[in-house]
Amino acid sequence: MNRIIIVGGGVIGMLTALELAQARQSVVLFERAETGREASWAGGGILSPLFPWRYLDSVTRLASWSQAAYPDFCSRLAQDTGIDPEYTKNGMILVAPDESDQAEHWAQRHQRNLVSIDAPQFRQLEPRAADPADAAFWMPHVAQVRNPRLIRALRRQLESLGVQLRTGQLVQRLLYDSGRCRGVHADGEHRADAVIVCSGAWSGELLRNYPSPPSIHPVRGQMLLFRAAPGTISRIVLEANRYVIPRRDGRTLFGSTLEEVGFDKQTTTAAHDELRAIATQRFPVLRDFPIEAHWAGLRPSSPAGVPYIGPHPQIGGLFINSGHYRNGIVLGLASARLAADLVLGHPPILDPSPYGWTKPRG
């Protein structure tokens, strides 16, 4: 049995910990605040990259593996923990009329069900939309999870498996000597056979003074939550990088912004007003419901949105699983399994080369 330290307790860190714990490794997870309260909590939980044809095939391969695994994973997690992540397949409408050739080519290449729809079909799928687009795409198999519930279920599962969760403990630096990572320094020295950095937007900061630091930086996103009634909106609808996500209980998310503001996680009145204006213009029915919450999160941006997954090229015992940008939830199951495979020396589920630490992206 190996002792493995995971730095970062978001969905990526927790899923990676789960894979390793299920492989009977001794796992210690360090989280600077509370588990899952950063980008994992702040996102929408859509189980698809937004406009998936805009991404490299390396992202699609991770997404495809995860999408196939999510239904059974959520079912087992709910059964084991008593917390239902609310896996819901309600489909996604995507408005991108100028990208039909690119979208259709992507769908054919990856054997995806993507249907061109007109305004009457749009209206039939989502009656509450104010002005259905004359040309859009419908992806009926796209699902979502309620990410705060997923986070709570994952934490309970990790606790039941004996993973040590050290919350409120900031990892300040790695223990590094003779070309090898020996552990981390947080409230003291903690030794391990391997260290996996899963620190999201903070990964680049932790690793910037070591060889070959990853190109990961924060991008702020702000989101609104309307306390709507069940059935008010039934589909995920994506247009111009703004999306609406209806939950089972009627609560409806609308987001999100893309802001290069460093590690500033404050919400702003300007973003609140802009998001509310767009949301109620596209879905006038939302004017009837109060805004229950407004929050911001910091996405871990990486070149072309391709995550870093794998061993450091120069430092033994050091691995990374980070840089998922807007797709941490949908890529999470596959990237966690791949990272665990590489740490344990198992045959990898996917060719790991596109996600290598020093692999060119884009």
| Parts of the chain with a pLDDT under 70 | 362
Q: Do residues 233 and 357 share a domain?
A: no
CA atoms within 13 A on the CB side of 309: 31
- For 14, which DSSP code? H
Taking phi over 0 as left and psi of -120 to 50 as alpha, with beta for the rest, 327 belongs to alpha
The sign of the torsion formed by the CA atoms of 101, 95, 332, 153 equals negative
Return the pLDDT at 159.
98
Radius of gyration (C-alpha) of the chain in whole angstroms: 20
Distance of CA 339 to the CA centre of its chain: 15
CA–CA dist 123, 274 (Å, integer): 25
Predicted local confidence at residue 335, as pLDDT: 98
Helix (H/G/I), strand (E/B), else coil: 138: strand
Distance between CA atoms of 338 and 320, rounded to whole angstroms?
A: 11
The reported pLDDT for the residue numbered 288 is 96
pLDDT at 70: 98
Q: What is the pLDDT, as a whole number, of residue 212?
A: 94
Model pLDDT, residue 361: 73
* pLDDT value of residue 136: 97
The mean of the pLDDT values for the chain is 96
Q: Same structural domain for residues 148 and 288?
A: no
Q: From the CB of residue 209, how many other CB atoms can be counted at a distance below 10 Å?
A: 10
Contact 147, 4 (CB under 8 A): no
- CA-based end-to-end distance of the chain: 38
Residue 358: the pLDDT is: 86
pTM of the model: 0.97
CATH of the domain at 21: 3.50.50.60
Of 279, 301, 323, at which residue does a domain stop? 301
- Whether residue 152 sits in one domain with residue 11: yes
For residue 226, what pLDDT is reported?
98
Do 44 and 164 fall within a single domain?
yes
Q: Which of 286, 301, 316 is the last residue of a domain?
A: 301
